[in-house]
Structure 1
Amino acid sequence: MWVVLCVMVWFIVGSQCNGGAPPAGSLSGIITGDIFNEMLKHRNDSACPARGFYSYDAFIQAAESFPAFGATGDIATRKREIAAFFGQTSHETTGGWNSAPDGPYAWGYCFKNEENPSDYCSPSSQYPCTPGKKYYGRGPFQLSWNFNYGQSGEAIGVDLLNKPDLVASDAVISFKTALWFWMTAQSPKPSCHDAITGRWTPSSADTAAGRLPGYGATTNIINGGLECGRSQDSRAGDRVGFYKRYCDILGVEYGSNLDCDSQRPFGFSPSVNDEPAVCLLYPS
């Protein structure tokens, strides 16, 4: 009887601790620490200003606040969303160049702060700028402008209007702001999450403008005013290059509508400057 009890205890407790392996379909089961490190292969290179900042554990912890991320649809859809998120954020933080070791798409997450930034303070009664604080691009999506710090801070429960530097000093918060942007729709744009997972149904106007679900739509959401509706924009092409590399690593097909060359932008604000401060949500 003692033998039976011991076996039962091992099965209940020991099997749950079998090497700490996560369920195959979970986020951490799809993108393991080893895969994360392969995707962002040179993020900790000595030449990268963000070396040592972006960690796998911080990403997984941040994603717990956004349970639909990487968990919507079948396994192929989940993998494509993860590849798309890292493809877009890697472009925003890239330190790669054409002849870089392992290619230009192995150098995502090299930066965490915008270089040569300005204040990015816009008059706002709802999200007023804090004296002495600057709202330049920080984190995986280079979060910019006071109203975006205000909105994202409210969503994740952190006072980023008064403490914007947390986006570049706390990796969990940094990833949370990026995931907040990814998961949040801003009319007339869908969320990047919905665009890549097929949860977005284009209107007749969207279809007429060539805007269809897929990776190209996420580029349009992020920076369509500068990159979409034109032939072979190098920035949009860079985004696709990262995405394809990550899909290859994750072992999933790319899907349809990869670029936004034939898509008209969702909308364009003259306040948007060129990169890296491009991933902006504007008050409606």
Structure 2
Amino acid sequence: MGSSGGAGIGSLINQTLFNEILKHRNEFYTYDAFIAAAKSFPRFGMTGDDHICKKEIAAFLAQTSHETTGGWSEGPDGRYTWGYRFIEEQGDRVGPYEWPNNAQWPCAAGKRYYGRGPIQLSHNYNYGQAGRALGVDLLNNPDLVATDPIISFRTASWYWMTPQPPKPSCHDVITGKWTPTNADRAEGRLPGYGVITNIINGGLECGKGNDANVVDRIGFFERYCKILKVSCGDNLDCRNQKSFG
């Protein structure tokens, strides 16, 4: 595949497929915003052959669908058609998510850094890093992630593409660019979709047996892989993995 970013992804997932995958999404999350955001990250969905590229798209949309899901078991068309329903964290889960002692990313007065957008970007340090990478002042304007759909998708893509040691990037894992260390192997972290769950929320979900959130993430991934006609691969869960810390 080439490195044409959004245009290339558009040849792999068109509007019709996007609508089928995110069947009941919030209208805030538009196909055009997804494609526009991809142009900021030319390697996203464009690394490897068509199978790998489509698998990455499926993995990205699956993980972010879980983060924003409004699905339930008896919901119309099944629970895995209800990704991308929420733009912000809901109800009692909403909190400031600030690290006031983090001098590198000082909290702006009166701003709250709770989950927003496809990846549910949280904490002032993530808003700070994402904003710097994207050239947007998200520390002072965190609500942009919930009001500008392109910026919203760009923050999710930034998180997906950016390693934060000791964690590799989600992109490198799903495209086969990540090689686990001996320590990773000893702690059960092997290449596959499960490591991406570990990157995103391993401290709460991994190494805990048959966790419902992990099952939900896998359910989205399996459905999206089927639609895009690619295999899911091995090591889908992280039940026996230790978190990266």
TM-score interval for Structure 1 and Structure 2 normalised by the shorter chain = over 0.9
CA distance in 1, matches of 2:117, 2:158: 12
Q: Paired residue for 1:201, among 159, 163, 179?
A: 179
What is the DSSP-based 3-state SS (H/G/I as helix, E as strand, rest coil) of the residue aligned with 1:159? coil
- How far has the Cα of 1:121 moved from its partner? 1.9
Q: Which residue of 2 aligns with 1:87?
A: 62
CA distance in 2, matches of 1:150, 1:226: 23
Q: Which residue of 1 aligns with 2:23?
A: 41
1:156 has 2:131 as partner: no
- How far has the Cα of 1:82 moved from its partner? 0.5
Name structure 2 gaps, 5 residues minimum.
Answer: none
> Per-residue displacement from partner, 1:56-102 (whole Å, max 9, x unpaired)?
00000000000100011111111111100011000000000001111
Q: Which residue of 2 aligns with 1:190?
A: 168
1:53 has 2:28 as partner: yes
1:76 has 2:51 as partner: yes
What is the DSSP-based 3-state SS (H/G/I as helix, E as strand, rest coil) of the residue aligned with 2:188? coil
Runs of 4+ in 1 over 3 A off after TM superposition: none
**The 10-residue stretch of structure 1 (83-92 or 253-262) with the greater mean CA deviation from structure 2:** 253-262
Q: Paired residue for 1:97, among 67, 72, 75?
A: 72
Name structure 1 gaps, 5 residues minimum.
Answer: 1-21, 44-50, 268-284
> Per-residue displacement from partner, 1:130-179 (whole Å, max 9, x unpaired)?
11111111000111111111100000010001111000000000000000
Q: Which residue of 1 aligns with 2:97?
A: 120
Q: Which residue of 2 aligns with 1:260?
A: 238
Aligned length in residues = 237
* Match runs of 1:205-244 below 5 Å: 205-244=183-222
Q: Name the TM-score, length of structure 2 as normaliser.
A: 0.94
CA distance in 1, matches of 2:112, 2:42: 31
Q: Paired residue for 2:158, among 157, 180, 183?
A: 180
Q: Paired residue for 1:111, among 76, 79, 86?
A: 86
CA distance in 2, matches of 1:29, 1:223: 31
Q: Name the TM-score, length of structure 1 as normaliser.
A: 0.81
Letter in structure 2 aligned against 1:74: D
CA distance in 1, matches of 2:8, 2:164: 28
Letter in structure 2 aligned against 1:153: G
What is the DSSP-based 3-state SS (H/G/I as helix, E as strand, rest coil) of the residue aligned with 1:27? helix
CA distance in 2, matches of 1:120, 1:209: 29
- How far has the Cα of 1:26 moved from its partner? 2.4
Q: Paired residue for 2:110, among 128, 132, 142?
A: 132
Larger Rg: 1
CA distance in 1, matches of 2:88, 2:60: 19
CA distance in 2, matches of 1:231, 1:129: 36
> Per-residue displacement from partner, 1:213-265 (whole Å, max 9, x unpaired)?
11011001111111111221110000000000000000111111111112121
Letter in structure 2 aligned against 1:122: W
What is the DSSP-based 3-state SS (H/G/I as helix, E as strand, rest coil) of the residue aligned with 1:82? helix
Letter in structure 2 aligned against 1:234: A
Q: Which residue of 2 aligns with 1:272?
A: none
CA distance in 2, matches of 1:30, 1:259: 26
Give the superposed CA RMSD: 1.2
What is the identity percentage for the equivalent residue pairs of Structure 1 and Structure 2? Answer: 62
Letter in structure 1 aligned against 2:52: T
Q: Which residue of 2 aligns with 1:282?
A: none
CA distance in 1, matches of 2:242, 2:129: 27
